[in-house]
Amino acid sequence: MDAAAPSGFSPQYDAQPPAGPLQLVSMLVHRRLYAWIQANPGKVDFWLAVAATLLFVVPFLIRSGGYPAEFFLSTAICMALAWRRRRPVAGAAVQAAACVLQLFLVPVTALPADLFVLGTVYSLAAFAPRWASVGGLILASIGGVLFMAQYSVIPFMDSGYPLKTALENDAPVWVALEAVLLMAWMFGDLTRTRRLALQALQDRARRLEVERQQERELAAADERSHIAREMHDIVAHSLSVIITQADGARYASAQDPEIAPKTLGVIAETGRSSLREMRRLLGVLRGDEAASTRPLPSLADIDELLGTVKRSGLETALSITGTPRRPLPPGAELSAYRVIQESLTNVLKHAGPKAGAQIALHWTPAGLKMGVLDDGLGAASALHDDGAGQGIKGMAERLSLYDGTLKAAPAAGGGFRVEAFIPYTEA
C-alpha cells in the first residue's frame, strides 16, 4: 500500500507539468508583443486613437441625415488620445475644447466619445507635469458638473420638475461620476510614481555602471603604474650593474685576465637575482599565491644591495642613526629599498667613473629620512637621463603612497643628492 501523501499535498494538482509547445509559443508572442509596445509608445497611442475613432465616430456617418457637429467633435475627442503620452497637455487641451463646444453644438444628447475623458485624466496624472495633472482633475470635475447640468438637470426642469427634485435625482449619478474621475486620476498618479521610480532605478544603474567602469580603469591604470615601477626598478638596476661590470671587465681583462672570471660571476649573480624578482612579479600578475607570499626586499636587504653595487666598482658608505619608534609597513620598507636602489642605479649610470656614494638613514620620531649623495658629475648627469625621468618619477610615486616626500637635485658642492622621507602610518 502506498504511503499516505503529506497533508495539503496532492500530486494530481500540485505538480506542474512542463510547458508544451503551444504554451511556449504563446509566451514568446506575449514577450515580443510587450517588448514592441514598450519600444513604440507613440505608435500604440496612434492606433488606439484610430480604433476609438472607428468605434465611436464612424457610426455618425452611417446614420441617415448626417451629424457633422457630432462627427467632428467626436473625432477631436478620440484622436486626442494619440498625444496622451508624448504631448499629454496638448492632447488634453484639444479634448477639453471639443467638450466645451459640445455643450453648445450638441445640446440634446451626449457623445459616446465623452468616455475617453477618463483616459485623458489618467494620462495627465501619469505623464504630464504635476500642475497639469491637478489642473486636469479640477477641470474634469467641473466638466462633470456641467455635463450633468446640460444633459440631466436641465431636461428634468424642462419636463416640469423643480430644481430641487432634479438635483436630488441626479446627485447619486454625479457623485459616481466624480468618484470615477478621481479613481482614474489616482491610477494615473500611481503609474506616474512607478514610472519615476523605474527611471530612478535605471539612472542609478547607469551611474553605477559608469562608476564601475571608472573604477576598473583607475585600478588598471594604478596596476600599470605599479608594474612599470617594479619593472623599472628591477630591470634598470640589474642592467646597470651588468653593463658596468661588462665594460669594466672588457678593459681590465686586457691587463689582468684573472679579473674576467670574477666579473662574470658578479654578472651572473646579478642576472639570477633579477630573474628571481621578475619571476616573483610575473607570479603576482598571474595570481600565483605562492609567488605573492615570497618575501619582498626590505631595509634589512640594503647591505646585500650595497655589496652588489660595490662589486660593480662603486664605492659606497652607509650610516644609520636613530632608533625606529616602530617598524614601517612592509610596503613602506619596500619603497625605501627601491628609492635607495634607484638612486644607486642612477649613480652607476650618470655619475661618471670613480664616483662614490654615501647613504644615510636617520630614524626620527616622525619617520625615516633617507639621503643618497654622490660625488659624480652632478648637474651634468641630469643631461644624460636616458630613462626619460622614469626613475625619479617612480620614486616619487612610491613615496606618495605612504604620504612620503622626495627631493632630487644637483648638490651645491658637486654631485647629486636624493632626499626622501617616509612618515609613520598612524592608526
Residue-level pLDDT at 369: 93
Same domain, 47 and 178: yes
Residue 380 contacts residue 318 (beta carbons within 8 Å): no
Same domain, 182 and 50: yes
Same domain, 324 and 206: no
Same domain, 35 and 160: yes
Does residue 327 belong to any structural domain of this protein?
yes
pTM value is 0.51
Same domain, 25 and 173: yes
Does residue 288 belong to any structural domain of this protein?
no
Of 345, 95, 368, the C-alpha closest to 241 is: 345
Does residue 182 belong to any structural domain of this protein?
yes
pLDDT in tens, 127-142: 989 999 999 999 999 9
Q: What is the mean pLDDT of residues 100-116?
A: 85
Does residue 226 belong to any structural domain of this protein?
no
Domain encompassing residue 39: 21-211
Q: What is the mean pLDDT of residues 159-173?
A: 79
pLDDT in tens, 227-283: 666 666 666 666 777 777 676 666 666 666 766 677 777 777 777 777 777 766 666
Q: What CATH number is associated with residue 422? A: 3.30.565.10
Could you give phi then psi for residue 341, rounded to 5 degrees? Answer: -60, -45
Same domain, 42 and 149: yes
Same domain, 85 and 199: yes
Name the percent of the chain lying above pLDDT 90: 18
Q: What is the mean pLDDT of residues 275-304?
A: 67
6 — pLDDT class (breaks 50, 70, 90): very low
Give the Å distances, CA to CA, from 306 to 34, 296, 343, 375.
Answer: 74, 17, 12, 17
Residue-level pLDDT at 285: 61
Residue-level pLDDT at 386: 47
Alpha-carbon distance of 345 to 355, in angstroms, equals 12
Q: Which of 211, 242, 267 is the last residue of a domain?
A: 211
Give residues with Cβ within 8 angstroms of 411, minimum separation 6: 373, 378, 417
Same domain, 74 and 193: yes
pLDDT in tens, 192-202: 999 899 889 98
Q: Which residue has the cell 642613526?
A: 321
Residue-level pLDDT at 419: 93
Does residue 11 belong to any structural domain of this protein?
no
Beta bridge partners of 41: none
Does residue 163 belong to any structural domain of this protein?
yes
Same domain, 305 and 206: no
Give residues with Cβ within 8 angstroms of 43, minimum separation 6: none
Residue-level pLDDT at 388: 47
Does residue 402 belong to any structural domain of this protein?
yes
pLDDT in tens, 211-224: 888 888 787 777 77
- In three-state secondary structure terms, 314 is coil
Same domain, 170 and 314: no
Q: Which of 211, 241, 266 is the last residue of a domain?
A: 211
Name the percent of the chain lying above pLDDT 70: 77
Residue-level pLDDT at 65: 55
Does residue 291 belong to any structural domain of this protein?
no
Q: Which of 211, 241, 264 is the last residue of a domain?
A: 211
pLDDT in tens, 71-92: 888 889 999 989 988 899 999 9
Q: Where are the alpha helices (DSSP H) in 128-233?
A: 130-148, 154-158, 163-231
Same domain, 207 and 307: no
Alpha-carbon distance of 193 to 185, in angstroms, equals 12
Same domain, 64 and 190: yes
Give the Å distances, CA to CA, from 68 to 76, 193, 251.
Answer: 12, 41, 114
How many structural domains is the chain composed of? 2
